[in-house]
Structures are given as C-alpha cells and as structure tokens.
Structure 1
C-alpha cells in the first residue's frame, strides 16, 4: 500500500509531457450542446415566434495551422425546437442543423496544460421537417435557410498527453423568414442562439 502511495506521489510531482496543441495537430471534440434561442422579429398574434431550448450531441474537428492558430468545423445531431407565440401557444415544430466554420486563436503555448481560445467565422443553418402545431396544425409552414456570422470562446484542459476536457460557448447570427401558407404571410424572425458545449477531446 505504501508503494502504491509513493508511486502516485511520484507521478503527481514528476514533470508532465507537453500538452501539444501544436502545428499539424488534429483535435476532435465531442459532447453535449445546448442551444438557447434569443428570438425576436415580426409578431404572430400578440408576440414573436419563440423556439425553445434543445440539447443534442455536438462534434467539432479542428486543425492546428500553427501552435496558436487553428480552423474548426462544428457539426451536431439535428436540433429540434417547439415554436410558440404569445396568445397562440405552440404553433410549430422545426428541426435544423447549423454547420459552422471557425478561425481560432489559442492563447499560451504548446507546453500549456490549459489552452483558452477564441474564434470567429460563418454559420449556415438549414431547416427541415417543419410542421404546423396547435392553431396552425396541418399548415404548410416553412423556414428559409440562413447565412450569418458566428463567434466562440472555449477552454481545453489536459487530462493525459492526448485526452482533454473542453468547455465552449457559441453565438450564431441566424435570421430567417417563416412562411405560413394558411395565414398567407411571411414573418421575419431572428433566432440568434447561444450554444453551450461541454465534453471531451482527443488530439491526433
């Protein structure tokens, strides 16, 4: 038992290998992503359209161009939102995918055990499987796809030489036109969600 304790103590005080995140590395991150819309726009009834929050599996793939600069692609399983408006309650159900491409800057150096980073880029959101609900049950509801800017901030923390934990926050500018065939109208809507991701990453 004493030998085990001595080995653990030695491992804790021994110099650790570099955390890398250096030029040429490929970083794969996966975890839970919660998207919380901050909606605004034209009123439907007495309020604008408000999608609810949803959590899905997120996956990012990054390539380190230099020790401090990288590029990242965000993907996820489809997000599903119930859409409500004041006075009518739930009026639609929608799904979307928001692939996002980011340029990133990592603070610190390749020997740092903790690597905070920031990023900026472009988001493309496409909507599908739109359904009218409640007062719009059976209606032909559609949402236009969206291009917009995106920003992020995150943190990687070393667990082993290749494994790390990750936390990040995202902002996406998503503007769309919602069309109701039954009402014969189109409504300008800004969704502009905040995304929070917590998970694990692996360096190749």
Structure 2
C-alpha cells in the first residue's frame, strides 16, 4: 500500500480537471475587451471619413447553459471612449458608448471536455453618451443616435482548475448611427470587431 501511494498521488496530480458546461450551469467571465472600429461614413466637408481609435475596457459576460450544447450569454462592459477624427481636420470629437449584447450560443464537444469552442449570434444595442466636440467642433453640440443591430461571436473556453477556465472570444457588431453636428448630419457605420481575453468561473 505504501508503494502504491506515490503512484496514486502522481496520477491524481497529472489527471486533467474537466471543464463542465452542463445544462443548468451558470458561469461568469471577466477580463479585458478591446473595441476596434471598422468604420465608414459620409465625407465630412471634403476632409475624409470619420475615423475612431481603439479602446480597451473591462468586459464581463454572464452565461446560462440551457443544455450541454446551447447557452444564452449577456455581454456588458465599462464604457468605451473613442477619439473621432478625419484626415483633413484631425480630432473633431470624443464619444463614449456601452454595447450590451445578448447572444444565443452553440458549444462544440461534450460537457466534460476540457476545451469547449463555441459560436454565437444575437443582438446588440449600443448607447452613445458624453459626446464632445473637439478641434474644429470644439464648443459645438455633437450627438450620436443609439444603434440596434445584429452581432456574431466566436470563442473558446479552456479549463485550468476545478470550476475555473480561460477564455478568448471575438465579436462582430453591426453598429450604424447618425452623427448630428452643427455642420450637418453624417451617416456612419462603426461595425467594430471586439476581442476579449478573460477568466471564467462556473457556478
């Protein structure tokens, strides 16, 4: 028995702890999300299209597993803030937004697999706020209409301890808005790619 004890201990330490996404499980992921706008817009006073820079914030998702394969996820984050510019005018505005999204997800593999890739599709509602005119538009009123559109997602969960897993996911969001300024209204498609790296816990 004494001779078998070290073997049993080594076997226990080397065995993988499987990642369980069973029906009825609730899990939360938290990490950093980077929004990378893929923008296009009307030409602004013949100075070029609107351009938005990237921003990284804290992202959180909450998922409920309906079955071993199907889940529903809610995405939330701290507000993203982007500088808005054109090639000819430089920075003309700054805007913040929140992009809550609801996704229906399909998870590949078995519930006890230690790697679970998944795909998702759903809806995004983006709320714009704290718009500020800068540079040429400094001191003027700038506002963006909220947006409602489709969203798609790819991701993977990788187990590293009991109830704990690492996650990497990427979203595409269809975000269209009208930008209202003192020089007129500009139609803009932001359509960002969002990448998130996080750690998750299963309840």
Which residue matches 1:191?
190
CA distance in 1, matches of 2:149, 2:78: 20
Q: What is the TM-score when the length of structure 2 is the normalising length?
A: 0.93
Partner of 2:68, secondary structure, is coil
Answer yes or no: is 1:154 the counterpart of 2:155: yes
Structure 1 runs of 4+ with >4 Å offset: 5-8
Per-residue CA deviations over 1:37-81 (Å, capped at 9, x if unaligned) read 000020113211111000000000000000000000000000000
Distance in 2 separating the partners of 1:196 and 1:99: 15
Structure 1 unaligned spans of 5+: none
Q: Which residue of 2 aligns with 1:135?
A: 136
> Which TM-score applies when normalising by structure 1?
0.93
Q: Counterparts in 2 of 1:81-160, with a 5 A limit? A: 81-160=82-161
Contact kept? 2:18, 2:159, Cα under 8 Å: no
2:32 is matched with 32
**8 Å Cα contact 2:17-2:160 kept in structure 1:** no
Q: Could you tell me how far 1:8 is from its partner in structure 2? A: 7.0
Instruction: Note if contact 2:99-2:126 (Cα within 8 Å) is conserved in structure 1.
Output: yes
What secondary structure is seen at the aligned counterpart in 1 of 2:196? strand
Would you say the 8 A contact 2:94–2:133 is kept in 1? yes
User: Secondary structure of 1:48's partner?
Assistant: coil
How far is the alpha carbon of 1:99 from its aligned partner?
A: 0.2
Q: CA RMSD in A?
A: 1.4
Change (3 A) 1:88 1:56: same
- Aligned pair count reads 197
How far apart are 1:9 and its partner, in Å?
A: 3.5
Structure 2 alignment gaps of length 5 or more = 1-5
Write the distance in 2 (CA, Å) between the matches of 1:88 and 1:109. 54
What is the CA–CA distance in structure 2 between the aligned matches of 1:11 and 1:187, rounded to whole Å? Answer: 62
Q: Quick one: distance in 1 between partners of 2:170 and 2:9?
A: 35
